[in-house]
Amino acid sequence: MYTGGRDWLGSRGSVIRYNYIHDSLGYGFKDGRWVSPHYAWGIYLDDNAGGVDVIGNVVARAIRGLIHLHNGRDNRVENNVFIGGALQQIECSGWTATTSDWTEFLPTMIKAYESVAEQPAWRAMRNMHIHPSKAVLSDGKIMTGNVFLRNIVMGTDPQTKYVSVHQFPFEHNAWDYNLVWNGGRPVRTGQLKAGRDLSDTNLAPNGSFEDGRPGVMPTDWHWLIRPVPTATAELVAEDRSGGRLALRMDAALVAEQPRDNHPTVTSKGFELPLGRHFRLSAHMKATQPNLKASLMLQSYVANAYFWASTPNEITVGTEWKNCEFVFKTPAPGEKGWHEQMRTFNVRVGFRGAQGSLFVDDITLKEIEMLDEWSAWQAMEWTVTRT
């Protein structure tokens, strides 16, 4: 059952109610042959479809999923039974401000919206106070105002996911009171989220940069890459985030050198358990906007292996800002693991061509990682009154 919303209006006010939709097969061309089942959902709210009520349906078995909201907005999905989607039960794929479908259809949406915006019947519909040109959020996402309540959702395939979401702003959608069962297996949502700290103390050596004296490298830290002999990285008292001292690194980029071309310092090595999750954070600021720094945990033995946590690129501005990453140390046998892997160190690099980077309060702690279901529940959903 399909509808779309390239004109902002077409699907609004539609009700898909009390149907039994089952074994949607789909038929398509894949790897040189016509195949079925192929690329099908039971209910497909496509291309910005908005303002649809999907209520009280039983939707069973479809190859791709049982319902798909493709940049859907202002839809209510309530009191349905979704059972036996193959890839996932529910799919939500948002556009962003730069998605070609959005930029292509936006003029049509605005024209249609403005043609009815002053009419009471249209104004009374959900979120019709939002002009299409005001629909993009500050992070570029668009898909808002959807409500998923009191559905019963059951997966039957061991590989299936409960939900698959893409460019989906959790805090602008509501998802609550759904009953989910996956045959006793974990409920997969594709979401990861850090839980509580497991470490009582900071595992980063001298991460507060309070040990040492101004004008020299902090205690327990040393150069990893000093691209020119005059490059400086030293403790300073003039600008810090916490305590008395911080680390200052001055720009010394050797742009023509293909690698090892910018100042990089590391802490001394320390042991960490393998196969565990950690949070690495640091306070950073720079003498000018948009300077590039890097922060990572690394482990290596020369000529044997190199491993580093990612992502690690940071854009630093002129105000102190906390940058943090969550990652896992490789467990034995996992990608990135090496039999000689024992010690790790914290690494800070400064890629700026000019100016200085200030670093303070580097913190490394082992953390609990929530499972995908707990992470999904912990998202900052819109709260609805039921």
CB of 209 to Ca ion, least distance (A): 5
Q: Is residue 311 at the binding interface for Ca ion, with CB under 5 A as the rule?
A: no
CB of 208 to Ca ion, least distance (A): 4
CB of 247 to Ca ion, least distance (A): 8
Site for Ca ion in 69-98 (CB under 5 A): none
CB of 203 to Ca ion, least distance (A): 17
CB of 288 to Ca ion, least distance (A): 22
Q: How many residues make contact with Ca ion (CB under 5 A)?
A: 6
Whichever of 95 and 358 has its CB closer to Ca ion, that residue is: 358
Whichever of 242 and 332 has its CB closer to Ca ion, that residue is: 242
Whichever of 312 and 363 has its CB closer to Ca ion, that residue is: 363
Site for Ca ion in 173-232 (CB under 5 A): 208-209
Q: Is residue 242 at the binding interface for Ca ion, with CB under 5 A as the rule?
A: yes
Site for Ca ion in 27-66 (CB under 5 A): none
Whichever of 240 and 285 has its CB closer to Ca ion, that residue is: 240
CB of 201 to Ca ion, least distance (A): 16
CB of 346 to Ca ion, least distance (A): 15
Whichever of 145 and 205 has its CB closer to Ca ion, that residue is: 205
Long-range contacts of 195-199 (CB under 8 A, 24+ apart): 195/367, 195/368, 195/369, 195/370, 195/374, 196/367, 196/368, 197/279, 197/365, 197/366, 197/367, 197/368, 198/365, 198/366, 198/367, 198/368, 199/364, 199/365, 199/366, 199/367
Whichever of 135 and 249 has its CB closer to Ca ion, that residue is: 249
Among 360, 363, 365, 370, indicate the residue that binds Ca ion (CB under 5 A): 360
Whichever of 96 and 232 has its CB closer to Ca ion, that residue is: 232
Q: Which residue is nearest to Ca ion (CB)?
A: 243
Question: Do the beta carbons of residue 264 and residue 292 sit within 8 Å?
Answer: no
Query: Of the listed pieces 55-63, 64-72, 357-365, 370-378, which binds Ca ion according to CB under 5 A?
Result: 357-365
Q: Is residue 243 at the binding interface for Ca ion, with CB under 5 A as the rule?
A: yes
Whichever of 190 and 212 has its CB closer to Ca ion, that residue is: 212
Question: Do the beta carbons of residue 260 and residue 294 sit within 8 Å?
Answer: no
CB of 154 to Ca ion, least distance (A): 53
Q: Where does this chain bind Ca ion (CB under 5 A)?
A: 208-209, 240, 242-243, 360
